[in-house]
Amino acid sequence: MSDVQAAPHGRGTGIPYPFDIRPLTDTGGAEITGLDLAAPLDDGMRDAIMRAFLEFHILVFRGQSLTKDQQAVFSKNFGELEHHVGRLPDGSPYPIVHTVTNLDEDGKPTPGAVALGNYFFHTDKSYHDIPSLMTMLHAIELPPSGGDTQFANTQMAYDALSPEMKARISGLKAEHSWEASRRNSGAPPATEEQKRERPPVVHPIVRTHPDTGRKSIYLGNHVSHILGLPAAESDALIAQLMEHVGQPQFTYTHQWRDGDYVMWDNRCLLHRALRNYEMATQRRVLHRTVIIGTAPY
CB of 114 to ligand SIN, least distance (A): 7
Name the residue nearer to ligand SIN (CB basis): 177 or 266: 266
Q: Phi then psi for 78, rounded to 5 degrees?
A: -110, 5
Task: Confirm or reject binding of residue 99 to ligand SIN (CB under 6 A).
Answer: no
Task: Confirm or reject binding of residue 184 to ligand SIN (CB under 6 A).
Answer: no
- Which of 118, 208, 212, 276 is in the footprint of ligand SIN by CB under 6 A? 118
Task: Confirm or reject binding of residue 149 to ligand SIN (CB under 6 A).
Answer: yes
- 217-276 residues in contact with ligand SIN (CB under 6 A) are 271, 273
Amino acid letter, residue 284: R
The count of other CB atoms within 10 Å of the CB of residue 247 is: 12
Task: Confirm or reject binding of residue 135 to ligand SIN (CB under 6 A).
Answer: yes
Give how many residues touch ligand SIN by CB under 6 A. 6
Beta-strand (E) ranges in the chain?
20-23, 30-33, 58-61, 98-101, 132-141, 149-153, 173-176, 201-204, 206-208, 215-217, 223-226, 251-254, 261-265, 269-273, 285-292
Name the residue nearer to ligand SIN (CB basis): 149 or 181: 149
Task: Confirm or reject binding of residue 75 to ligand SIN (CB under 6 A).
Answer: no
Task: Confirm or reject binding of residue 282 to ligand SIN (CB under 6 A).
Answer: no
- String of b and e for 252-283 (b: at least 16 CB within 10 Å)? bebebeeebbbbbbbbbbbbbbeeebbbeebb
Q: How many residues can be counted in the chain?
A: 297
Interacting residues toward ligand SIN by CB under 6 A = 100, 118, 135, 149, 271, 273
